[in-house]
Each structure stands twice: as structure tokens, then as C-alpha cells.
Structure 1
Amino acid sequence: MIINKLTYLIAELEGEVEGFVLNFRKRFNPERVTWPTDITIAGSSGIGTLSEGQDLDFVIAEIAVVLDRYSFNDVTFESLERFPDTGIYILKPSREKFDELHNAIKETQVKFNDTPWPFTPHCTLSAVQENSEDLEEVFVGARYPIAAKIRSFSLYQPETNGGCRIHRF
């Protein structure tokens, strides 16, 4: 199979964080409720999404070697933040292990699309462009979970109102 759509490498999370993220999305970003609770390793920032036209089996093999070397299961969250001048709210994890993994993935033979943003590991709570008083009020008072587990790493192709996991590592 050839990759022919926008494809991300994500760390799918489990634990209390799933309910926290889902509640936030239901209220402020309902079109994202079916998306996984995840931290993007390749896609929205840093090395960008996987380039189209690559053989999926090759990509899986390249990434699997890295995931075997850099595997970790525990995630600690450090803060809730908002990207300036947007309604994009995120839960930020401690980033050291994610930076190591991101850099190792970058060194594979997998090709990635350019993105203008530096790598910022995060779990998206809301991705609306316009901020609102309601969103800000809930965000400021939110008590977020401080830990989660990584259920799996996946290649994921997001689409409006959902998406498709094309491989789980």
C-alpha cells in the first residue's frame, strides 16, 4: 500500500486523560470527539506529516526499529496552555522523552512534509480558531490529570469528524 493521504505518527494515550480531553472536546470542539486522545510525534509540528507516495510497509519497518529502541509508557503532564491568539488549547507533557523519540524518527529514511512550526509535543483539547469567554473560563479553572500511559503508537490519517488508524505499533 502506498501512503496517499495526510498521515501522522501519534502516541495514543489511556487513563484519566481520555475523559478529560473528551469532555473538553464535546463542549468546545465536537467535530474532534472521535479523534484519539494523543500526542503527535510527527505531523502538526517539527518534522511534519509523512510524505505521500511512500510504501507503507517500508515506513512501518523504519519506525518500528525506532519505537523498539525508544519505547516508553509513562507520560507526565506539566501544563495547560493556549497557542497565542487562537482557541487552540493543549495539554503539554514533560517533553524530554518525546524530543528524543521525535529526533530519532527524523533520522530514519522516512520522508516528511515541511511544517513551519517547531516540535511541540502536546495533546489537543480544542482546536477552534476563535477563542471564547466560555472556553477561557473553563480552561483557566481546569484541573488536569498529571499522568497517563501510552496505549500504543499509531499511524493515523485524520479526516473531518474522525479518521483512520492505518497501523498500530
Structure 2
Amino acid sequence: MKLEPMFIVLEIDEPVRTQVIQLRKSCKDAFRASLPAEITLTGSSGVGPLTLEQSIEDIATALDKVAADTPRFQAQFGPMLRFPETDLFVLTLRDETPFHALHDQLTRSGLQFKPSAFPFKPHCTVSGNPVTAEEAARRLQLTLPAAFTLSMLALYGLQDGQVTRMHSTQLTVPA
């Protein structure tokens, strides 16, 4: 069974994973609090979701190759951002360089993606529920300053509102 849309993410390691989920809960966004804490590499910006003509096995093979060529790395969130004309609040990244490199590597991997109307902006979505102006101002002040590790590249799919991990692979350990 293919799940759609399919997207590629970097999962956030503990203890920051739990902190992201708690932040989502504090914003009263039960849907996002139920989702994995991750940075989406493909599927929302830059390139869109994977096309459905590809088999899960072919996608997994490509992800395994990319992961084998990518060392684990540390990251740190930057300020909260509200996407223009939306109620989407996201944590930005202080250094976007490794995320752009991975996004580019995935787009050159032979995988096929649907188009996206938005340029690639690595981020972690915190909330998307409607807010008052006062609540929006409060959310823009929220931060998670701790550094965290990214060690898992994963393929997720959405079916009937449920997110399912379809494949995951460890990034290489730095030499």
C-alpha cells in the first residue's frame, strides 16, 4: 500500500524531540503534537512530495545511499517564524547550510518529486491552529535553545490523516 503524500524528513533526537512535542502541546495543537518531531527535507518546500510512480523499495534504496554519504550533525533552532498570511508557526534553524546540502542531494538522487510553490526553508512546524493577535505575539517569543542531533533520515506517508514511517535509515557516524 502506498501512502500519500510521501515526504522525507530528518528526525530530531532526544531530548529535544520531547521538547518539540511539549511546545506543540503548549500551543494547543493536538494534531501536530501527535506528529514526529522532524525537519522536513522534501514535501513542503523546495520540492514537493514524492511522486507515486516510485516504489517504496526504490525510494528506500535512494535514502540509504544518501544517508551513507551523510554524517550525523548537530543543529540548533533559531527564532520562531510565522509564515506570511497563515497561522503556521515554525522554529527556524540557526545554520541552514547542512539542510540545504541534504535537500540538494535528495533532489539529485534520482527520486522524482512533485513541484512546490515555495523555496526550500528548513524548519520544524510547531503549530497551525488559528490564533488571536495576542497569541501570535506570544508564540513568536517561544524558543528551544538547546542544540540537538540529527541522525535519522526517514520516509513518511500520510493516509487518512495518520502519519506513518515507511522507511528509516541512520546517517553515518562521523569519523
Q: Which category describes the TM-score, using the shorter chain as reference length?
A: 0.7 to 0.9
Q: 2:16 — aligned with what? A: 17
Q: Report deviation, 1:144.
A: 1.8
Q: Report deviation, 1:151.
A: 4.3
Tell me how far apart the structure 2 counterparts of residues 111 and 14 of structure 1 sit (CA, whole Å): 28
Say whether residues 1:39 and 2:39 are aligned partners: yes
Q: Is the 8 Å Cα contact of residues 78 and 143 (structure 2) preserved in structure 1?
A: no
Identity %: 25
Q: Report deviation, 1:160.
A: 6.0
Consecutive unaligned residues of structure 1, counting only runs of 5 or more, are none
Say whether residues 1:71 and 2:71 are aligned partners: yes
The 5 Å alignment of 1:1-169 reads 3-26=2-25, 27-93=27-93, 94-128=95-129, 130-159=130-159, 162-169=162-169
Consecutive unaligned residues of structure 2, counting only runs of 5 or more, are 170-175
Q: Report deviation, 1:146.
A: 3.5
Q: Report deviation, 1:66.
A: 1.6
Q: Report deviation, 1:25.
A: 2.0
TM-score, scaled to structure 2: 0.85
Q: Deviations over 1:77-123 (max 9, x none)?
A: 22211112221111111210010110011011111011101111000
Give the alignment's Cα RMSD to 1 decimal: 2.0
Q: Report deviation, 1:126.
A: 0.6
Aligned length: 167
Q: Report deviation, 1:154.
A: 0.7
CA shift in 2, pair 1:20/1:30, >3 Å: same
Q: Is the 8 Å Cα contact of residues 91 and 122 (structure 1) preserved in structure 2?
A: yes
Q: Is the 8 Å Cα contact of residues 9 and 40 (structure 1) preserved in structure 2?
A: yes
Please give the secondary structure, in 2, of the residue aligned with 1:61.
helix
User: Aligned letter for 1:66?
Assistant: V
Q: Is the 8 Å Cα contact of residues 9 and 41 (structure 2) preserved in structure 1?
A: yes
CA shift in 2, pair 1:102/1:108, >3 Å: same
Q: For structure 1, which segment, 41-50 or 25-34, has the greater mean C-alpha deviation from structure 2 after superposition?
A: 25-34
TM-score, scaled to structure 1: 0.88
